[in-house]
Chain A
Amino acid sequence: EPEVTQTPSHQVTQMGQEVILRCVPISNHLYFYWYRQILGQKVEFLVSFYNNEISEKSEIFDDQFSVERPDGSNFTLKIRSTKLEDSAMYFCASSESGLVGEYEQYFGPGTRLTVT
């Protein structure tokens, strides 16, 4: 069964460093997403991406964040200068449609980011 994969599974970085989280969405999907979950908190939407551009972003997704689809398979989330409060589990997801309830979003297993 096709699945979304994410690397690394755990990333430890120092405050102020740049990190890149990587995702490989399901191959025929057109919409890509990043979510995050701070420990003990709810899953929060960060950004959606379609047709090589951001289609929607939350207020969490500030100028420190960027997304890119550098080739036909990878989808990346970059945090330019990490802060302690960026420590969280980051989930990548993909779907055939961008409309809620139309097609399922498939989530990857997540990358746990720890900022020290």
Chain B
Amino acid sequence: QQQVKQSPQSLIVQKGGISIINCAYENTAFDYFPWYQQFPGKGPALLIAIRPDVSEKKEGRFTISFNKSAKQFSLHIMDSQPGDSATYFCAASIRGGSQGNLIFGKGTKLSVKP
């Protein structure tokens, strides 16, 4: 019930390509779905987040797609750049709930080849 399953574990994309990372959740009470980006030697940083009242949210080259009926959400990185190479974590929680309820996926290591 409290799991967030993330795939793939690692991803290699050519520069200019589209990177897609998928996550699935089980708890239908979740209503806040953030993505975190982590560069080597740094802590995770909030990249973009979505609530289930919209199916898509876009910020620059980063887009979250959300499918409430399938209980899945995904991160799309358009025109992927070598600087996007990092580990990406999806997470899920109840908005307004305590921070301790933020459930993370296992992470996806993205490598963008020049």
Contact = CB atoms under 8 A, between A and B. Distances in A.
Interface of A: 4, 31, 33, 40-45, 47-48, 55-58, 91, 93, 95, 98-102, 104-110
B104 A56 contact: no
Nearest to A41: B106
Given A42-B107, A93-B43, A48 B98 contact: yes
B41 interface: yes
B99 A91 contact: no
B28 interface: no
B46 A100 contact: no
Interface size range on B against A: 20 to 34
A102 B46 CA distance: 12
Given A55-B98, A101-B49, 18 more contacts: A33-B100, A40-B106, A42-B4, A42-B103, A42-B105, A42-B107, A43-B44, A48-B99, A56-B98, A91-B43, A100-B32, A100-B94, A100-B102, A102-B96, A104-B46, A105-B102, A107-B44, A108-B43
Given A43-B89, A91-B44, A110-B43, A101 B96 contact: yes
A44 to B, nearest CB: 7
A4 B99 contact: no
A40 to B, nearest CB: 7
Contacts of A110: 43
Contacts of B61: none
Nearest to A101: B95
A102 B36 CA distance: 16
Given A105-B46, A109-B43, A98 B106 contact: no
Contacts of B51: 101
Nearest to A107: B43
B97 interface: yes
B105 A98 contact: no
